[in-house]
Structure 1
């Protein structure tokens, strides 16, 4: 109090205006920085995680193709009636004929990403693509390890054993052939896969985010590592993925400074903005504090209101002097804050819309594939009348599924959509199931998230019924401000473990259903936590799914 008493009124006004002007700007700057860094870092994290899963999936598919192809060829070669060569290198007409069949077999197992499949005999002669340089191949460390140990070997390397080499990286699998008969005993089966596409994806991560990627086999042996002088640190941001077939580890490591580089840039920009705002406020406070009028009190009151969060308060000065300009700048500041707040709100709405679209893009393919297969089957056995009917109802179903413009629809439209779906199922399975609906006509205009019931019906036909046989009961009622939906079937039922994961989004550890997890996410997006989904099931007796959500009306509704 003593300090403020010795200050002049001009200085008091100067400090007051300075504080009131800076507090909203500092608060907005901090909030903007925190929200911006949260969004940017979240997107970077999702980008790295998605890229890691993509690389893992592609690598896992490559390994599956190689191991399955190897097993099929080994099984064929193990049959002495299939490949009965007299000499390792064909010398007779019979040998050339059998060798031709063997090379056709190898070519038949070559898929788009498999560069070549070869059988290398103990004498050094090989069967397979003629561009293969076996002498150069035997210089590879992969061959040396497999030849010395007599065990299966797999590795990543840069191939140079082709006459026309256009590969940067390849994955090779060398498998010894152990037979008790025939000239192919003690030979090796070699499968090589093109990894250029996989490494293109890895290079994008390495270049964009300075990531370091390593691949290790199930024993921990390093198969590939990004060339880098940087050392692994404890504060590095790390993602790990594991292949399903042989538990290879894919590690993506990003230095902390590189990962948070965008956050540092945002921080500098916000800091510069705060400093600029500070100096502007300092200058304006000094200029406008020279005036002593009643209008200053009005301006002070308006500032106090703004500091409390009342942004509708504005000052009305009709003069063009310093205080009038101060009032004008103050009003612009309030408008800018309101505009920024509106922009934040719009961004949240756009984020919500994007989440909804992301959910709807995950269309469950079971209905489409099963229906098309049924149409194909019907086309072979019957005429075209029934196919036309099926196509009509399929079109109606797809029209509803692919309309992303409306998120909440009346119950009447949702029921109409599932009726088309049930007609398709009847054409598919025949009249082996029954469906009953109980719903008061007065709640037909009640709103429900689009495509809520159909995924649950798909789950019944796909998991609960055998050959489409069973009974389905759907009841929708209205009680105490909420709609109540109960979907009951007398199918197989499910265990408690399956119930616990029924509405969860599937991942490596949890197997749920995309359609059912989307149902739950839609209710959460539209109603927050003000909804309830419960499932009761008894094995071999059936399942009841119950959903409760707040009442909303669409169209014209007369209470």
Structure 2
């Protein structure tokens, strides 16, 4: 038997080698299909898509700045305020002005909202009067009147908008945070033939740059002015440099050399000021994408290997599957799944082993059932023996006899106490029904209070106020007694006081409130009880956990207290939380 098996394995090895050679031949054919031009086109397409996203973002920022100019220049109320301020400034020989009188100008500037984040707005009026939306404390802006671009604007037509590009931050308080600003300026006049006034808008350069890293992590992206000067760049150190390579036309590309490296350059013009977006993709990263092809090769090899493994698995199963089934069954039986069977059949040795194994498990199952039946009968016998030792009915009858004899002798109070004890004992021993009507649960609490008052000789008053439509609503047995006991022992401290029980319905919920006028507690103490840290609240915690198990997340227990004001506990029980509880009515005691 060994020789044929070995011979078959040799054939299988030869077949597997053939299956491994074929994928290699196929991968060579696939590799020849891909060319550098195709890879380059993919890189250009990706760069174009990144530029489209970045262009939309940058255009929105620039459009927002233009709209801000218009909102200031064409706001008649703003212009009127500026005229009044300038006229007052000219007429005052001290060249001073009360800016508080023109706070409406500052408010309007502050209310301007901008796309992208922080924006600095400066209004330069003639003769040194200016307004800003930022603090000018320790930041004199008189130098702006001497800037070269101010002098250049004097020769430009009125209402001209000049895009200055990138400059150093002139707001000292933010210069460290935003070292570079992108600035545009517009000229206007307060009166006909009056000297030019200027609106200056500046945005941190980082607002233009942040989109580059988000959508072009594998590219170099920059914002250029019409002269090729870098306004914003993925690397902030390049700001201010000049990109000297020829600018490609829209939707085209060039292969350029810049800073000693070779790049694929893609350009998108912007609709403002002749600015443009430029994306540089490292040429080496494009050619290195040939590695992706080899990844495809690996995937194909894995696919062919899986096919080979399936064929091999099919043949091996013919001999090894029965033994594997026996092993899996043995493992499951070892873990406790005694109902598992191997179902291995056959005329050979493995088939006989599987049949014997299954018969052995069947025998074990029969023995376990026999043992469980014997243990069950044993527990029932022990329980019957215990019940026979002390018959509950004997206790009830005896207590009733004592109660009647006490009443006949005029001991009515003792008779009532014995009656309450008998009723409470019957409710405690009875297990016929887990749920009881609310009125029966409250009656049990009344018997309990009668016993506690008799035991401690205290006049604790139990006040009951149940809505008529809640009397027959069923709740779990002994839900209220632990809460009343907690109020009696810990709230009132076994002294005189009032414990009240109220109930009402609202929105398919049953509300039951247990309230005392005792010593109350601090909020920290209530948190300890809710979290199960305090030992004094074990009864409350047990009731809460029991009702959560029965009703789930729909149940809630609220606690409200303060020192000296007593404690109020409110149970919130869903009326449709337990189907069986909706059909309990009448007396359920035995």
Q: Check whether TM > 0.5.
A: no
- Shorter-chain TM-score bucket reads 0.3 to 0.5
Based on CA coordinates, which of the two structures has the bigger radius of gyration? 2
Q: Which structure is richer in relative contact order (CA contacts within 8 A, separation 6 or more)?
A: 1
Q: How does the TM-score come out when normalised to structure 2?
A: 0.36
Q: How does the TM-score come out when normalised to structure 1?
A: 0.37
